[in-house]
Structure 1
């Protein structure tokens, strides 16, 4: 099942375009609905994203699915290849990524994720549980942690 992402930005429902003077620097929110990025992102997590940001390997990005461009998905950029970016989810059991649809052209990359906001759903109301959630609820989505984890796993 393809991953679904709900995008809520400054111009709800409208296409975010890059301007002639450089990339648009608008920020917005996107909500994760599927498990393809577990353990980094879980269904219900919110992402603070920047439209038109420079993309590098290791970044988590929001992109249009190459076969269903009305569908937004979130993936991690692995590397640059002929024809675009090779993207994969962090969950090895979900293959709705470049292993299925190949490289993704630059024009389908919508935004770069900067911060993950974890949903408080399911958190017990005890002080210890709330404190634990607060510590982990807001976290930057960084490339360096992912790259070092991948290198250690090999």
Structure 2
């Protein structure tokens, strides 16, 4: 399990709605291999304006015609960027596998 570790990522944006929403926290196996049908944390290629933020996307299949790359998609067809815009994502740019969404906790103030 060398190079793999558990961590938490916070979702920004609406590209993975309805599965994930802005502010959701997800448990990530950093260094975990992608699995078709599961979500992953990926580094998208830069745009003409510069780097894009690290993103959560759904791994749908190996990228056609691109050995060593994965096809990733957003769940929300009206928001975000995915492989339909930028092509396959190199395996080295798949940073971790999302294991699940963490529950929301509310902060309570206790008064005596």
Is the pair's TM-score, using the shorter chain for normalization, greater than 0.5?
yes
1:94 aligns with 2:94: no
1:65 aligns with 2:50: no
Which runs of structure 1 show a deviation greater than 3 angstroms over 4 or more consecutive aligned residues? Answer: 118-121
**Aligned pairs for 1:102-141 within 5 A:** 102-120=87-105
Matching residue within 38, 53, 56 for 1:74? 56
Q: What does the per-residue CA deviation read over 1:48-67, in whole Å, with 9 as the maximum and x for residues that have no partner? A: 10012121211100011111
1:51 aligns with 2:15: no
Contact 1:30 1:46 in 2 (8 A): yes
User: What CA RMSD, in Å, does the superposition of the two structures yield over aligned residues?
Assistant: 2.0
Between the aligned partners of 2:16 and 2:104, the Cα distance in structure 1 is 15
Partner secondary structure for residue 35 of structure 1? coil
- Segments of structure 2 that go 5 or more residues without pairing to the other structure are 107-112
Paired residues in the alignment total: 101
Between the aligned partners of 1:107 and 1:25, the Cα distance in structure 2 is 14
1:30 corresponding residue in structure 2: 9
TM-score normalised by structure 1 residue count: 0.59
Bigger relative CO (Cα 8 Å, ≥ 6 apart): 2
Contact 2:14 2:80 in 1 (8 A): no
Describe the shift of the 1:88–1:23 C-alpha distance in structure 2 as closer, same or farther (beyond 3 A): farther
Between the aligned partners of 2:52 and 2:29, the Cα distance in structure 1 is 19
- Segments of structure 1 that go 5 or more residues without pairing to the other structure are 1-21, 122-154
